[in-house]
A and B are shown apart, each in its own frame.
Chain A
Amino acid sequence: DIQMTQSPSSLSASVGDRVTITCQASQDISNDLNWYQQKPGKAPKLLIYDASNLETGVPSRFSGSGSGTDFTFTISSLQPEDIATYYCQQYDNLPITFGQGTRLEIK
């Protein structure tokens, strides 16, 4: 199975800050990676697909980059409504696997 390692596991930042989360795959997955946001009590929401493509309707302050084994998710200017847990997910090989999540809090 492909292991997805996210860091950090939790993060505290201020409104307006630039926030970066990384995800590392245990083997080359090209750009077969998606990013999700999950708010408490809600299902995950797709934000970024194919490593860098913004899902329709998602604010442009969210972005993704990377290929191969190393990926980055960025919020350019943190907003209060961005408080959530963020997950990466690979689809290069079955089983589909997720990172362990990054919990984002407001400082």
Chain B
Amino acid sequence: EVQLVESGGVVVQPGGSLRLSCAASGFTFDDYTMHWVRQTPGKGLEWVCLISWDGGTTYYADSVKGRFTISRDNSKNSLYLQMNSLRTEDTALYYCAKDLRHRSSWYGFDYWGQGTPVTVSS
């Protein structure tokens, strides 16, 4: 059974930093591109970033480029999101999600974690 379990979401002040983690199991982790997607009541679902199965390629939404860094450790079946210079508008529920195609670029998300909440507030 595929499982994705996020952790690390907390309340942080504007300008602060945070690292989210996602522990994956039930599939061959290093065969799939992985994503972070966030959700807010006001803006709905927003794709944040992706990392290729080998970690060699990353892409970011403009809203987080230069502030967030996605990484993965395939030996630990883990995905990470380093979030710096946080803004109030980064407040959201953050999901890690598995891409639906094997060793490909990006398509969509066939498995999601339960999400971890990030609140940026003074």
Contact = CB atoms under 8 A, between A and B. Distances in A.
A84 B5 CA distance: 23
Interface residue SS majority, chain B: strand
Given A49-B100, A94-B59, A44 B112 contact: yes
A87 B43 CA distance: 13
Interface footprint category on A:
10 to 19
Interface in B11-30: none
A97 B43 CA distance: 12
B110 A95 contact: no
Interface of A: 32, 34, 36, 43-46, 49, 55, 87, 89, 91, 94-98, 100-101
19 contacts: A34-B109, A43-B95, A43-B115, A44-B45, A45-B112, A46-B100, A49-B100, A49-B107, A49-B108, A55-B110, A87-B44, A89-B45, A89-B108, A91-B107, A94-B106, A95-B47, A95-B61, A96-B106, A97-B47
